[in-house]
Chain A
């Protein structure tokens, strides 16, 4: 038992050195995640800020100016240009100078005063349909507020019923609060996978893996020793990114850290398991790297990181059940925003434990049984 522990410790130290002894390897493990966290944390937002729009106001009256100032006064839009004829709309939109043109017709205020419902046309660039949809939503909100204010001032009755919308967990709907906890999971996965995916392949290519197999080490011991650097480096960097999310990006942490770390540990084990399995299957480092890519890219895109899993077709949704990132993202967002505790998250822990168990066992089996 004691000997076994000694062997594992020796291998773990050797593995850690293999990753960290090279200066370039150290740099690629530390610098990119920090840079990515900061850049992506700010970049990955669905909120529209300062969207350039053009205004074509044919009715230069007080009410139409008021509506325009409502639109331009919101943080979502800024005025790119005022235009004065139809022909100017197409080039502005086509060349992406603006994402929308607000067109107020000449009879706007006359209609409004006479009690006819005036129409305000907005031309929206639909190339990015999500942006178009959100823009439409923002504009609807602005027009609704304008209408309410107008009705109040002109002494008309209010609408029969109104919506009292209250978003839970994220009352201002800041999309950064959704994305930054996601980045914690994303970067932890990337780091752990690249640390482990080449660890066996490198030794196979160099021929030292056969030597390792003829030592008294048992496959289980090799497995633990090889898992160690991935789990350790993943946990350290994961913690660092977590601290950045809390203190740099000010995402509220409402749940229990214990629940979060239980999830992170399961997640690291499953990521290491997948990385080692890929590595044991590969004969060359290039194949190992290819395998890591082939796992990481779908794992990220089909995790619910940016686009909801509920929108995916059923067949693809089934596939996401074997993706550890799927569960970790739910845990991260649950603990951060919804204040979840370990008992609520139990459903998301055990699938990762199963993935870890299966992949680690397969990796250990493949150490000796990989067919050439």
Chain B
């Protein structure tokens, strides 16, 4: 019974059964291949933090050449789509009704104060509801203002007041293209979903239909059931993963600076973690309704919000940072963003892979224990 040959036979039988089940119900294949492609296309194009065409209202109470040079600087900027208003009241109305995102207001004494010793105020209102976008808008307005100050000083023949200049050097993504970090992060989110969805129902389904008991009376061992169930889905999941990576490279043109083989190896590890998580959910829930709900709650939103994919983990309060450590996507996001943008930086890759390995062992170990316990 325990001979390697018998074990191989049982395992092969189990894998064959699961594979047939996959082939007969196309929904698994859809989850593995169609889901990642659609989601990646939709989100890769849809999710962007690069503010462009910020709608800026210009209110100039007393137009002259000086105000024209300032408003011209904003009109010429790629970041802004400017609209002129005659009075500040009209502009404020437009801001309230979401027709513009910000207002630049030059009061009627702007030019006279400019000539009279400087320090003329430029009124800026931005819609602060989306604080992140407001801050980015403010940053762009400051950039235009500084350029204008320099050119104005040149025109007047006066030296610019001595000031420290900031010289930012952005490593890894000099153009600050948000797609370059969002697309690898999305792969992690989508793969968490795919992996967990593939397996979260499979064991629960057997319990619900009563076929788990039938499986239990065969000589097959628990871990053989687990391996037999995981392997076919692993193959499917990796197919979807490679498809996503290919899309990141060729559809979204995200540069891959690290090695493709490291990426594949880490992806395989992560796929095992995601499948293991689904299997654990399935084993604990034993009921498709509950399994589905847990899978939804435990995978998508945590991977989206707590993985560092979009929200910076180091800015979160300390207790929440602790919580992020139990989100597998966190480690995968760190590895993917590093591999794509920076290259094979081993300290980052190894530390996060070790965490993933640990999570895989825990998920599969607990799933195995739970299965045995419930049988007794």
Which residues of A pack against B, CB within 8 Å?
22, 24-25, 28-29, 32, 36, 39-40, 42-52, 67, 93-96, 99, 108, 112, 115-134, 136-137, 139-141, 143-144, 146-147, 150-151, 156-171, 173-175, 177-178, 186, 190, 194, 198, 202, 285-290, 292-294, 296-298, 300-302, 306-308, 310-313, 315-316, 319, 333, 337-338, 344
Q: Mark B72-106, 1 if CB is under 8 A from A, else 0.
A: 00000000000000000000000111000000000
* Alpha-carbon distance between A127 and B159 when the two chains are bound, in angstroms: 38
CB nearest neighbor in B for A309: B46
Q: Which of B276-320 contact A (CB under 8 A)?
A: 285, 287-290, 292-298, 300-301, 304-306, 308, 310-312, 314-317, 319-320
CB nearest neighbor in B for A48: B315
Shortest distance in angstroms between B24's beta carbon and chain A's nearest beta carbon?
12
Instruction: Among A202, A307, A315, point to the contact of B48 (Cβ < 8 A).
Output: A307
CB pair A163 B145 closer than 8 Å: yes
Shortest distance in angstroms between B174's beta carbon and chain A's nearest beta carbon?
7
- Cβ of A126: which chain B residues have Cβ within 8 Å of it? 170-174, 176, 341
CB pair B134 A167 closer than 8 Å: yes
What's the tally of chain B residues with a CB closer than 8 Å to chain A? Answer: 114
Shortest distance in angstroms between A52's beta carbon and chain B's nearest beta carbon?
7
* Alpha-carbon distance between A156 and B118 when the two chains are bound, in angstroms: 12
25 sample A-B contacts, Cβ–Cβ < 8 Å, listed by A number: A36-B301, A39-B323, A48-B312, A96-B334, A123-B169, A125-B171, A125-B172, A133-B139, A157-B161, A158-B117, A160-B118, A167-B126, A169-B127, A170-B128, A173-B134, A175-B132, A178-B132, A194-B292, A285-B201, A286-B292, A287-B27, A289-B197, A301-B43, A319-B46, A337-B129
| B376 adjacent to chain A (CB < 8 Å) | no
Contacts A94-B347, A130-B178, A289-B296 known; 11 new A-B pairs at CB < 8 A: A123-B169, A136-B139, A140-B139, A143-B164, A164-B121, A168-B127, A285-B288, A286-B205, A300-B300, A302-B42, A308-B49
CB pair B289 A177 closer than 8 Å: no
* Alpha-carbon distance between A22 and B290 when the two chains are bound, in angstroms: 10
| B47 adjacent to chain A (CB < 8 Å) | yes
Instruction: Among B46, B164, B298, point to the contact of A316 (Cβ < 8 A).
Output: B46
* Alpha-carbon distance between A162 and B149 when the two chains are bound, in angstroms: 9
| B141 adjacent to chain A (CB < 8 Å) | yes
CB pair B123 A166 closer than 8 Å: yes
CB nearest neighbor in B for A29: B293
- Cβ of B42: which chain A residues have Cβ within 8 Å of it? 298, 301-302, 316, 319
Q: Mark B23-35, 1 if CB is under 8 A from A, else 0.
A: 0010100110001
Instruction: Among A51, A52, A178, point to the contact of B130 (Cβ < 8 A).
Output: A178
Shortest distance in angstroms between A17's beta carbon and chain B's nearest beta carbon?
14
Instruction: Among A139, A177, A307, point to the contact of B131 (Cβ < 8 A).
Output: A177
CB nearest neighbor in B for A90: B171
Instruction: Among A132, A175, A301, point to the contact of B173 (Cβ < 8 A).
Output: A132
Q: Which of B99-156 contact A (CB under 8 A)?
A: 110, 114, 117-136, 138-139, 141-142, 145, 149, 152-153, 156
- Cβ of B97: which chain A residues have Cβ within 8 Å of it? 344
| B215 adjacent to chain A (CB < 8 Å) | no
CB pair A169 B129 closer than 8 Å: yes
Instruction: Among A29, A159, A296, point to the contact of B118 (Cβ < 8 A).
Output: A159
CB pair A96 B348 closer than 8 Å: yes
- Cβ of A46: which chain B residues have Cβ within 8 Å of it? 131-132, 135, 311-312
The answer to whether residues A297 and B39 also contact, given A93-B171, A338-B96 and a CB cut-off of 8 A, is yes
CB pair B129 A333 closer than 8 Å: yes
CB pair A112 B142 closer than 8 Å: no
Instruction: Among B166, B176, B178, B317, point to the contact of A120 (Cβ < 8 A).
Output: B166
CB pair B153 A160 closer than 8 Å: yes
CB nearest neighbor in B for A160: B118
- Cβ of B126: which chain A residues have Cβ within 8 Å of it? 165-168
CB nearest neighbor in A for B208: A285
- Cβ of A24: which chain B residues have Cβ within 8 Å of it? 285, 287, 290
* Alpha-carbon distance between A345 and B31 when the two chains are bound, in angstroms: 38
CB pair A307 B310 closer than 8 Å: yes
| B157 adjacent to chain A (CB < 8 Å) | no
CB pair B289 A25 closer than 8 Å: yes
Instruction: Among B167, B296, B341, point to the contact of A293 (Cβ < 8 A).
Output: B296
The answer to whether residues A45 and B27 also contact, given A136-B139, A311-B50 and a CB cut-off of 8 A, is no
* Alpha-carbon distance between A319 and B169 when the two chains are bound, in angstroms: 37
CB pair A127 B337 closer than 8 Å: yes
Instruction: Among B171, B197, B319, B348, point to the contact of A123 (Cβ < 8 A).
Output: B171
| B353 adjacent to chain A (CB < 8 Å) | no
Q: Mark B258-272, 1 if CB is under 8 A from A, else 0.
A: 000000000000000
CB pair B177 A129 closer than 8 Å: yes
| B51 adjacent to chain A (CB < 8 Å) | yes
CB pair A117 B297 closer than 8 Å: no
CB pair A301 B316 closer than 8 Å: no
* Alpha-carbon distance between A207 and B335 when the two chains are bound, in angstroms: 47
CB pair A293 B197 closer than 8 Å: yes
CB pair B288 A165 closer than 8 Å: no
CB nearest neighbor in B for A100: B168
